Amino acid sequence: MQVIADIAPLRDQILQWRRDGQRIAFVPTMGHLHDGHLTLVRRARENADIVVVSIFVNPMQFDKADDLAAYPRTLDEDVAKLNSEGVEVVFTPSPEMMYPNGMEQHSFVDVPGLSSILEGSSRPGHFKGVATVVSKLFNMVQPDVACFGEKDYQQLAVINKMVNDLCMPVEIVPVPTVREMDGLAMSSRNTRLTVDERQRAPVLAKTLRWMSSQMRGGRTDYSELILDGNDQLRAAGLEPDDIFIRDAHTLLPIVEQSSKAVILASCMLGQVRLIDNLSVDLAPPISDDSEE
């Protein structure tokens, strides 16, 4: 396995694989890897001959300097895990290499619509940072396929739209959320939870499951359902941030034609922001037409 920090040697290696007719899969990460990331790596291996993983804590997608500073950085451990998975290259660029003239003077990619709703409305510029860095990484790695987790549901939607709008020759493979035994969605931020907080954290996933069961049972008073979900979170000591119920395909409000919904939730637990989502198949509307 190679660990490469600069663009030129990365491109040289990519060119060699291309000449050999190798198919390349890519997994972009911010490091502090867990089994969720490694599941992406394994899915990438199923789709290609070569797997490239990047580790880069992208400052452009953080709206708070404290969050950027607190993000866990465990490069040596991450490299060891990826070596065990047989990854061919770990790409570890620096902020100075990615943004040589600083972020304020850097060109950016902005995905309209999807970037400014839901989480984007409360974190202005976040998805611009995500789209920009992923676009840059795609240009550097030039993968045939890239794997993204469904845990970051809106991020996945933004990446899909960017790839389609800009005609990028990259197949995006969504990978289902990987969970702990108690249902908590795996996240690098989970390691910052205290022992007590870790015991309460699965309530977020439990609340989403309860809300989805209500919807499958025919409940459509979504505003009240969201309030009920918030009450369940608060009762367990979690502070709700946002809960949305949206069309799973458009991320717009549910309409009569919607066939699938997604519940998107975020909350604070101590100093840690947890996010999760759950998709729900909606029953088709009952027709009023009757046979004569």
pLDDT of residue 70: 84
- CA dist 24 and 45 (Å) reads 9
Closest by CA position to 262, among listed 274, 276, 283, 280 = 280
Active site (catalytic) residues: 37
pTM of the entire predicted model: 0.92
Domain 188-281 in CATH: superfamily? Answer: Pantoate-beta-alanine ligase, C-terminal domain (3.30.1300.10)
Residue 64 above 90 pLDDT? no
CA 270/CA 15 separation, integer angstroms:
47
Tens digit of pLDDT for each residue in 232-241?
A: 999 999 999 9
Percentage of the residues of the chain whose pLDDT score is greater than 90: 90
Q: What is the pLDDT of residue 285?
A: 55
Tell me the binding residues for (R)-pantoate: 61, 155
For the chain, give every residue range classified as CATH 3.40.50.620: 2-175
Question: Which residues fall in the annotated binding site for beta-alanine?
Answer: 61
Three state DSSP letters for 188-229:
HHHHHCCHHHHHHCCHHHHHHHHHHHHHHCCCCCHHHHHHHH
Q: Where in the chain is the domain with CATH 3.30.1300.10?
A: 188-281
Which CATH number applies to 2-175? Answer: 3.40.50.620
- Binding residue ranges for ATP: 30-37, 149-152, 178, 186-189
The DSSP string of 240-275 is: EEEEEEEETTT-SBP-TT--EEEEEEEEEETTEEEE
Average pLDDT value for residue range 23-40? 97
- Is the pLDDT at 192 greater than 70? The verdict is yes
